[in-house]
Structures are given as structure tokens and as C-alpha cells.
Amino acid sequence: MYRLMDLSSRAAYEKLLERVLSRVQSRGTDRGERTISLTPEIMHEQKQTIILNFRQLADALGREPQHLARFIFKETGRPGTLDSERATLSGRVSDEELGKLLQLYFKEFVKCPVCGGIDTKIVSEKRFRFLVCEICGAKTPIRKI
Ligand SMILES: [Zn+2]
């Protein structure tokens, strides 16, 4: 007897997300260094979506909160504000969408596409931006946001 998995269901999605998140974490532990935990704490309030631990998420990713915020605002197409700890988006953005965006950000702006390392930094050269890996030295062009 076969059981089909319904990917559109929330439970299945959460399982998927969990798997992706734990993969991110294990990458860090493989190197015996730090782990990245990307679990947004989200509060929905009237017509706003507030990410309570925004600074913590940016710190975990090793990026400026402003950079992560510009990415989220741009990708969701929603204006927002940033204060010392939290980011606030206008409108309702689902937890799933935010979780997915953090994964995208991690893939595009943190993780080295060559060795998979997470000890990277963003370097500006004239109009261009690069992701420079401190482990393997790879230099990968990234988009400016
Ligand atoms: Zn690398």
C-alpha cells in the first residue's frame, strides 16, 4: 500500500523546512565551528508582520541587518522598517515565505558556492559585489541589493 505525501499541506512543508534548516546547521558543525540557526520569531499584528529576532538572525548569518532587511523588503515587495532588534514589514507575510527567504539569502549571500563554507564576507569593488570565502578563497559575483 502506498501513501502519497501531500506537499501542499502545512505539515509537509514544515517538515521540508525543518530538513533544510537542519542541513544549514550541520554544515556549520561539520567544520567544528559555529552553527547557524535561522528560525524567525514572527508576530502578526493588524496589518504588519514583525520579525522579533531580526538582529539575531543577521548576526547568525554574519551580515549587516540593513543588508538582510533590504533583501527581505525587495523580495517581498513590501516596504518596512528596521529598529535595533526587530524588522517590521507592512502587510501580512507568512512564516513559510519568510523562512524561504532566509534560506535564499543564506544561499545567495552567505554560503560559498564552491566549498559550502559559511565563513564568507561581502566585498565591494567599484560597482560590483563579491562573496569572498575565507576558507577556500573563492570569489563569487553577487547582485547588489
Ligand atoms: Zn569556499
pLDDT digits (tens, 9 = 90+) for 15-73: 655 655 555 554 444 444 556 778 899 999 989 999 999 999 999 999 999 999 999 99
**Where do the domains of the chain lie, and which CATH numbers do they carry?**
10-142 (3.30.30.170)
Measure the CA–CA gap between 123 and 119, rounded to whole angstroms: 13
Mean pLDDT of the chain: 85
Q: Please give the distance, rounded to the nearest whole angstrom, from the Cα atom of residue 90 to the centre of ligand 1.
A: 36
Q: Please give the distance, rounded to the nearest whole angstrom, from the Cα atom of residue 121 to the centre of ligand 1.
A: 11
Could you tell me how far CA 45 lies from the centroid of its own chain?
Answer: 22
Give the SS3 label for residue 78.
Answer: coil
Q: Please give the distance, rounded to the nearest whole angstrom, from the Cα atom of residue 140 to the centre of ligand 1.
A: 9
Q: Please give the distance, rounded to the nearest whole angstrom, from the Cα atom of residue 139 to the centre of ligand 1.
A: 8
pTM: 0.76
Q: Please give the distance, rounded to the nearest whole angstrom, from the Cα atom of residue 122 to the centre of ligand 1.
A: 13
